[in-house]
Every structure is written in C-alpha cells, then in structure tokens.
Amino acid sequence: MPDLSVVVPVHNERDNIVPLLTEIATALRGKADFEIVYVDDLSRDDTLAVLSAAKAQFPELRVLRHTTQSGQSTALRNGIKAARGTWIATLDGDGQNDPADIPKLLAMRDEAQRSESDRAIKLFAGWRVNRKDTGSKRWASKAANAIRSRLLRDETPDTGCGIKLFERATFLDLPYFDHMHRYLPALVQRAGWQVRSVPVNHRARGAGVSKYNNLNRALVGISDLRGVSWLIRRCRRTAVEEV
C-alpha cells in the first residue's frame, strides 16, 4: 500500500491533465511510494478520455468518475475514500498549485513525526504568499480569510489553497458537507489536532477557465461560516481508555 495518495478533483480540465501529471510524477518518483487518484466530476469535455489514455504513461494513476456532477468537496471526499495511502496530498486540477511543493510538505511531516510535541499536527496547509490570480479575486480572498479567521479563530492565513497534506484517517473522521474543503483547518482543530501553514508556490492558470466567481463564493460562504461556527460550538471531545 502506498504511503501517499495524491488526490486531484477535475471538471473540464482536459488541457491541464497531462502537464500536471507529468509534474506530479517528476516531483515524487524515487522520493515517495505514491499513487495518483483523479476524480472526474462528470466533465462535459473529453477530460475522462484524456485521463484514461494517460494511464498508459502514468502507472501510478487511478481514475474515478462521478455519475452526477457533485462539486469539488464531494470529488475530494470520494477520492480520499478510495485512496490507499495513509497520507493524502491534494492539488487543484487547474495547475495553479505546484507539485514540487509536495516533497517539502512531506519533509515537514517527517520532521513533525520525530518530535513528540509536533505529532499532533495532522494537516500541513499550503499558504499562497504570492498569488497569481486577478486583483479582484485576491481582494475577495483576503476579505473572506479575514472574516473567517475572526469568526472561527483557526489562525490560518489561507484556507482556500488547494495544496494540502493530511492524514487520511483524520480527514475521514471530520463532518462532511459541501464546500467543507475550504474549512479543513478549523475542522481539524475542532477534532483536537493541530495545523501548520506552509508557504507554497502559486501559478497562473495554464488553460481552461475558473469554475467559481466572487459572488457565488460569497453567498455560499455566509451559510457555511454559520454552519462551521455551530459545529465548533457543539463539539465535545473526551479521552477514551480501555478498562
């Protein structure tokens, strides 16, 4: 069984698939025992055909496909449920995350595992310190991060970054809801674990178009913030011992 599963959700990203797969393989071959799990969220272009053909070039690749379009959070969760790795690395399928950052996250994980005080870190979250998005998107993200941080107190500068490394069992123990991937730091902390933000590279989209805009993110975010705040308030944790 691989130590690491790289999970990538995609929807209409046919031109970004092979370049991103090449970068993942270059970053990890010879450095980690890994698999790559792509989840096609019922793309309308030939994303699935490109993925199927790519399996001949990338033996690490596994391909899942939704039978109904269900969104990024559901695609991530289904990919993670199907993954065989103990740890999960996630990437956005648009190529804006740099797979070369994954070995850095793995090295930080290994260092934390050797330190008794840091073994509780179960999520290493990417932090886009030099974003390559449009000015309006950067402004909206900055405002959303400030509001979220104030309400949830998750002490995380960038929850929207797609590149993350976390323990699979920790993720599957979290409450599931649509758009939950934007609140992983707060949810992991709610479960009693720690989070570390890591500066990572960020790039302009190479092909295709974004699936989100500022308005729909804001409308959904208001409801989600209320829900996550409620989950945090209602959380109860206790140590368990066998007798």
| CATH value at residue 31 | 3.90.550.10
Q: Report pLDDT for 191.
A: 95
Q: Report pLDDT for 207.
A: 86
Q: Report pLDDT for 212.
A: 59
Q: Report pLDDT for 220.
A: 64
- As given in the structure block, the two tokens for residue 14 are 């046919």
User: In whole angstroms, how far apart are CA 93 and each of 99, 206, 209, 233, 235?
Assistant: 11, 11, 11, 34, 33
Q: Report pLDDT for 94.
A: 95
Q: Report pLDDT for 137.
A: 67
Q: Report pLDDT for 84.
A: 98
Does 243 fall in a domain? Answer: no
Whether the predicted pLDDT of 53 surpasses 80: yes
Does 240 fall in a domain? Answer: no
Does 44 fall in a domain? Answer: yes
In terms of DSSP bridges, do strands 87-90 and 164-167 run parallel, antiparallel, or are they unpaired? antiparallel
Cβ neighbours of residue 180 closer than 8 Å, sequence gap 6 or more: 73, 77, 174, 187
Task: State the total domains in the chain.
Answer: 1
Mean pLDDT of 139-155: 75
Q: Report pLDDT for 154.
A: 84
Q: Report pLDDT for 217.
A: 60
Q: Which of 36-40, 43-47, 209-213 bottoms out in mean pLDDT, i.e. has the lowest?
A: 209-213
Does 239 fall in a domain? Answer: no
Q: What distance in Å separates the CA atoms of residue 210 and residue 66, rounded to the nearest whole number?
A: 20
Where in the sequence is the domain holding 25, given as residue range(s)?
Answer: 4-233
Does 134 fall in a domain? Answer: yes
Mean pLDDT of 51-78: 97
pLDDT band of 6, cuts 50, 70, 90:
very high
Does 39 fall in a domain? Answer: yes
Pair 183, 220: CB distance under 8 Å? no
Does 219 fall in a domain? Answer: yes
Q: What is the pTM of this model?
A: 0.89
Measuring CA to CA, which residue among 1, 27, 122, 19 is closest to residue 10?
19
Whether the predicted pLDDT of 72 surpasses 90: yes
Q: Which of 61-65, 120-124, 202-206 bottoms out in mean pLDDT, i.e. has the lowest?
A: 202-206
Q: Report pLDDT for 203.
A: 93
Does 242 fall in a domain? Answer: no
